[in-house]
């Protein structure tokens, strides 16, 4: 309710980072079969409503979605129509594969399509899904125009590499970023760029805290291409158990305790996973254990940490 009231009173206010919960609900799993470590099917309609209702009851205040997540926006829109208070919604502009002259119209159309699917007049956040698109002619001006028109609260970018974030931070008006981070992937934390985001007032969402779920898989379910990380996972499990927490709690702490990370975008396949993650949040270890975990997890080759470079499932 508070979020809705604030937005109604200040239609052009920046993204309300103070309203974020430590976990933001990722939604690609709601719109399409997902996962290169293990493939899950989207929940059915009742299952989806159960997950979203449970997430709201637990205090989650933001959903991360995208035009490219199958029918996730439409399914979320169906649920949003009947739910109050409404969470913050961040969606993403699909990759721009058209000529420069058509970009402003294209952005306008994509934004309208997302808003219509979600049944909203305004998105709280709108991210460029493919980071280099941010630098194409007319993109920033179109996004700023959408902010001024009250169609989006803030714009930003989803990145895979620290250099993409460094480039994005030079763009005026950037309000949000989503970046990959996990116990095994500390590139952004080590780069100093997350602190720079905080200094510039850019809200940082981290995703892939569980490396598409691979970090939580039992050893005998790890796909072949991820077998090289098995010894590291085993040592991390040992550390978690010595520290009186589970690997999930350690994985959450490994990212959420990074100064400047406002919220972790976590995807789930069902209500049980949501409950487990919320419970894990309550027993996160402190910084000393996280430091030990980071030392154990350092040095994993980057190709093992980037799901885009993993072989297709099956």
Q: Is 131 in the site for ligand NAP (CB under 6 A)?
A: no
Q: Which residue minimizes CB distance to ligand NAP? A: 26
CA distance 116 to 304: 38
Task: Tell the burial category of 81 from Cβ atoms under 10 Å away from its Cβ (0-12, 13-18, 19+).
Answer: exposed
Lay out the site mask for ligand NAP across 34-63 (x = CB under 6 A, - = otherwise).
xx--x-x-----------------------
Q: Which of 216, 233, 236, 293 binds ligand NAP (CB under 6 A)?
A: 216
Q: What would the two tokens of residue 101 be?
A: 């002259």
Contact 54, 87 (CB under 8 A): no
Q: What would the two tokens of residue 121 be?
A: 């007049």
CA distance 63 to 263: 11
Q: Measuring CA to CA, how many Å separate 243 from each of 185, 266, 289, 292?
A: 21, 23, 7, 11
Question: Cβ of residue 148: shortest distance to ligand NAP, in angstroms?
Answer: 25
Question: Cβ of residue 277: shortest distance to ligand NAP, in angstroms?
Answer: 5
Question: Cβ of residue 191: shortest distance to ligand NAP, in angstroms?
Answer: 18
Lay out the site mask for ligand NAP across 149-168 (x = CB under 6 A, - = otherwise).
---------x----------
Q: Which of 64, 73, 124, 262 binds ligand NAP (CB under 6 A)?
A: 64
Contact 21, 15 (CB under 8 A): no
Residue 25 or 296: the one with the smaller Cβ distance to ligand NAP is: 25
- According to DSSP, the β-strands at 176-180 and 203-207 are parallel
Dump strand ranges (E) for the chain: 23-26, 62-64, 88-93, 123-128, 152-158, 176-180, 203-207, 261-266
- Which residues, including other chains, have CB under 8 Å from residue 123's CB and lie 6 or more apart? 89, 90, 91, 111, 114, 115, 151, 152, 153
Q: Is 28 in the site for ligand NAP (CB under 6 A)?
A: yes
Q: Is 91 in the site for ligand NAP (CB under 6 A)?
A: no
Question: Cβ of residue 84: shortest distance to ligand NAP, in angstroms?
Answer: 23
Q: Is 210 in the site for ligand NAP (CB under 6 A)?
A: yes
Residue 9 or 271: the one with the smaller Cβ distance to ligand NAP is: 271
Q: Is 110 in the site for ligand NAP (CB under 6 A)?
A: no
Question: Cβ of residue 207: shortest distance to ligand NAP, in angstroms?
Answer: 4
- Give the residues across from 265 on adjacent strands: 24, 207
Question: Cβ of residue 211: shortest distance to ligand NAP, in angstroms?
Answer: 5
Q: Is 243 in the site for ligand NAP (CB under 6 A)?
A: no
Q: What would the two tokens of residue 264 be?
A: 């972790």
Lay out the site mask for ligand NAP across 253-292 (x = CB under 6 A, - = otherwise).
------------xxxxx---x--xx---------------
Interacting stretch for ligand NAP, rule CB under 6 A, among 140-148, 201-209, 231-239, 287-295? 201-209
- DSSP code string of 128-144: ESSGGGGGSTTHHHHHH
Q: Which of 61, 164, 208, 232 binds ligand NAP (CB under 6 A)?
A: 208
DSSP 74: H
- Which residues contact ligand NAP (rule: CB under 6 A)? 26-29, 34-35, 38, 40, 64, 158, 178, 207-213, 216, 248, 265-269, 273, 276-277
């Amino acid at each position: 309710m508070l979020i809705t009231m604030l937005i109604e009173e200040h239609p052009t206010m920046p993204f309300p980072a103070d309203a974020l919960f430590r976990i933001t609900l990722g939604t690609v799993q709601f719109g399409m079969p997902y996962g290169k470590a293990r493939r899950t099917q989207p929940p059915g309609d009742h299952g989806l409503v159960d997950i979203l209702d449970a997430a709201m009851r637990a205090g989650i205040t933001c959903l991360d979605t995208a035009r490219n997540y199958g029918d996730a926006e439409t399914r979320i829109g169906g649920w949003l129509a009947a739910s109050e208070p409404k969470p913050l919604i961040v969606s993403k502009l699909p990759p721009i594969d058209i000529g420069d002259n058509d970009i402003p119209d294209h952005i306008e159309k994509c934004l309208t399509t997302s808003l219509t699917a979600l049944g909203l007049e305004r998105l709280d956040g709108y991210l460029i899904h493919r980071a280099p698109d941010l630098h194409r002619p007319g993109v920033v001006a179109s996004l700023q125009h959408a902010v001024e028109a009250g169609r989006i609260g803030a714009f930003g970018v989803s990145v895979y590499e620290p250099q993409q974030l460094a480039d994005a931070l030079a763009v005026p008006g950037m309000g949000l970023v989503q970046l990959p981070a996990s116990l095994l992937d500390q590139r952004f934390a080590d780069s100093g760029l997350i602190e720079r985001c905080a200094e510039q007032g850019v809200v940082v969402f981290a995703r892939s805290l569980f490396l598409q779920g691979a970090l939580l898989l039992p050893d005998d379910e790890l796909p072949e291409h991820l077998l090289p990380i098995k010894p590291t996972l085993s040592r991390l499990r040992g550390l978690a158990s010595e520290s009186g927490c589970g690997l999930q709690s350690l994985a959450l702490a490994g990212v959420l305790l990074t100064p400047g990370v406002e919220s972790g975008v976590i995807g789930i396949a069902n209500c049980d996973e949501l409950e487990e993650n919320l419970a894990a949040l309550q027993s996160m270890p402190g910084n000393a254990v996280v430091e030990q975990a980071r030392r154990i997890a350092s040095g994993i080759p980057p190709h093992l940490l980037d799901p885009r470079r993993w072989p297709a499932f099956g």
